[in-house]
């Protein structure tokens, strides 16, 4: 809002996160994040913040809608998150709340927002189904390293960074897109993790074999990593609730 002198402007931003302070990471999931960090800005400078538990994370279904309804009740001006489903987007659009895409440390994201360096999320996709989905998520984009290109029957590679194919499963569209993406491990500017995020912007990684450094980099970007003893994409999707969170280098599938 504008101050009496006509120069001061005050606004509030809700940022999806699993943390509770300004050094936390932006959670790439909107509906399933644990918290929203509500930042109060005056003339683009932080003056206050509070932590709000996300009610959508408790939902079995409709997490994105519930989270968006809660955001409306918080009376914020903007939202910063990683991905947003169409149902949640519709709720926020009705209240004229703009949503921006961000990743990494919240302090850095606020600075980028203040400098108009974040991209607005203005388009979402309509849902349709050709495969059973049991993830109960509203905004998941799951990244897979693959051995071959057989659609949802593609086999998952145990060598994450050197897989011949990669797949991204969009939970809104309920479909898998397989890409022939060669990661450049010699690039001194962009790591393979940065290259993956830039190309497909996943919210979650599924891996049978992944190094500790890659896990660290994904975690720094607020992207979760899942693992489990499943060999093909379809099995992973249908058993999503049985997957383990990956916090250290893993070797599922290795003898």
Range of the domain at 114: 10-120
Q: Is the pLDDT of residue 7 over 70?
A: no
Residue 58 and residue 17 in one domain: yes
Residue for token pair 């993406």: 181
Per-residue pLDDT tens over the stretch 165-175: 999 998 777 88
Per-residue pLDDT tens over the stretch 218-235: 877 778 888 989 999 999
Task: Provide the percentage of residues in the chain whose pLDDT is more than 90.
Answer: 32
Give the confidence band of 129 by pLDDT, cuts at 50, 70, 90.
very low
The predicted pLDDT at position 253 comes to 46
- The predicted model gives 17-43 an average pLDDT of 88
Residue 19 and residue 115 in one domain: yes
Residue 52 and residue 189: Cα distance in Å, rounded? 36
Q: Is the pLDDT of residue 100 over 70?
A: yes
Instruction: Judge whether 1 lies within some domain.
Output: no
Residue 14 and residue 86 in one domain: yes
Instruction: Judge whether 17 lies within some domain.
Output: yes
Q: Beta partners for 152?
A: none
Residue 84 and residue 164 in one domain: no
Mean pLDDT of the chain: 82
**Residue 240, SS3 per DSSP:** helix
Instruction: Judge whether 218 lies within some domain.
Output: yes
Instruction: Judge whether 127 lies within some domain.
Output: no
* Total residues found in the chain within this entry: 255
Q: Is the pLDDT of residue 60 over 70?
A: no
> At which of 91, 120, 149 does a domain end?
120
The total number of structural domains in the chain stands at 2
pTM to 2 decimal places: 0.58
Instruction: Judge whether 241 lies within some domain.
Output: yes
Residue for token pair 């009740």: 73
Residue for token pair 């209240």: 95
**Residue 73, SS3 per DSSP:** helix
Residue 17 and residue 25: Cα distance in Å, rounded? 6
Give the confidence band of 53 by pLDDT, cuts at 50, 70, 90.
very high
Instruction: Judge whether 61 lies within some domain.
Output: yes
Residue 163 and residue 204 in one domain: yes
Residue 88 and residue 174 in one domain: no
């Amino acid at each position: 809002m504008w101050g009496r002198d006509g120069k001061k402007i005050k606004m509030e931003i809700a940022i999806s996160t699993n943390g509770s302070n300004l050094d936390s990471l932006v959670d790439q999931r909107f509906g399933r994040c644990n918290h929203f960090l509500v930042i109060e800005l005056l003339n683009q400078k932080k003056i206050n913040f509070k932590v709000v538990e996300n009610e959508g994370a408790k939902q079995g279904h409709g997490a994105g809608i519930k989270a968006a309804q809660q955001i409306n009740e918080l009376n914020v001006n903007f939202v910063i998150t990683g991905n947003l489903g169409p149902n949640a987007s519709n709720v926020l659009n009705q209240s004229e709340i703009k949503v921006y895409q961000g990743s990494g440390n919240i302090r850095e994201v606020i600075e980028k927002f203040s400098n108009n360096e974040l991209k607005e999320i203005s388009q979402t996709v309509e849902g349709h189904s050709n495969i059973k989905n049991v993830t109960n998520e509203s905004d998941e984009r799951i990244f897979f390293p693959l051995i071959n290109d057989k659609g949802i029957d593609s086999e998952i590679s145990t060598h994450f960074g050197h897989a011949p194919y990669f797949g991204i499963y969009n939970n809104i569209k309920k479909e898998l897109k397989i890409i022939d993406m060669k990661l450049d491990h010699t690039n001194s500017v962009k790591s393979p993790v940065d290259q993956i995020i830039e190309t497909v912007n996943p919210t979650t990684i599924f891996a049978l074999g992944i190094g500790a450094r890659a896990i660290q980099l994904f975690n720094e970007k607020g992207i979760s990593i899942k693992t489990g003893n499943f060999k093909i994409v379809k099995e992973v999707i249908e058993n999503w609730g049985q997957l383990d969170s990956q916090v250290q280098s893993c070797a599922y599938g290795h003898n």
